[in-house]
Homo-oligomer: A and B are copies of this chain.
């Protein structure tokens, strides 16, 4: 990471180009055994996402938490979270895996897109899912449910550490998504993970090409020294 608390464009671009499977393997080498969100699936498997986490934490609803039932954009934490989304941010919502109501719907998802948001992730449900699918924005969730969030969820905090899909997410973490799902990359190692993942995918592309051509696994997967030399040549040729 070049500086400050944002990843460089190149880091994000590379993370967007590699698979969560590759990132998972690289994170493991850095001591992170499991950073993939459980039971969180893409609504748009055709899109890829890599951006900084803006977090929203729901707790269970109860009558005295929101007696008016009115939503005030200046005090409601869901609205504050959405309005704090900037270019390259991913809104990540802790819903405790409770899918009995949507966590947000079509209009708010559109607002996230308007603000330059990179995507939205929840371990609960969305409402208006059929419309959200039409927005060109990577979105991930556990289920779909038409009920209003207020029936089940109360927005309690913005930009605190949360758990989403079983994984701890800190504000600013890099959230990467592809058709397999969503993985969390701690900001401090985002540059390293990005570079190593990119390299590993090059090597796997080489191996896959050989296996597709009928090569047997022995010697190539995992590659022995001869195969690694062959790979270096292949890479040089390809880069020219």
Are the CB atoms of B105 and A168 closer together than 8 Å?
Answer: no
A157 to B108 alpha-carbon distance, docked (Å): 29
Known A-B contacts A130-B45, A163-B96, A168-B65; A107 and B211 likewise in contact (beta carbons under 8 Å):
yes
Interfacial chain B residues near A178, Cβ < 8 Å: 130
Interfacial chain B residues near A97, Cβ < 8 Å: 96
Return the contact of A156 from the options B23, B25, B73, B160 (Cβ within 8 A): B160
Are the CB atoms of B186 and A128 closer together than 8 Å?
Answer: no
Known A-B contacts A79-B217, A186-B62; A36 and B145 likewise in contact (beta carbons under 8 Å):
yes
Are the CB atoms of A186 and B64 closer together than 8 Å?
Answer: yes
Interface of A, secondary structure class, is mixed
A35 to B64 alpha-carbon distance, docked (Å): 12
A90 at the A/B interface (Cβ < 8 Å)?
no
Interfacial chain B residues near A144, Cβ < 8 Å: 180-181
Number of interface residues of A (CB under 8 A): 81
Return the contact of A100 from the options B19, B34, B71, B179 (Cβ within 8 A): B34
Known A-B contacts A21-B128, A144-B181; A167 and B60 likewise in contact (beta carbons under 8 Å):
yes
Interface stretch (choices A9-17, A147-155, A228-236): A147-155
- Contact surface of A with B, Cβ cutoff 8 Å: 19-25, 28, 31-36, 38, 45, 59-65, 70-71, 73-74, 79, 82-83, 96-98, 100, 102, 105-108, 110-111, 114, 127-131, 144-148, 151, 154, 156-157, 160-163, 166-168, 178-181, 183, 186, 188, 204, 207-208, 211-212, 214, 216-218, 221-222
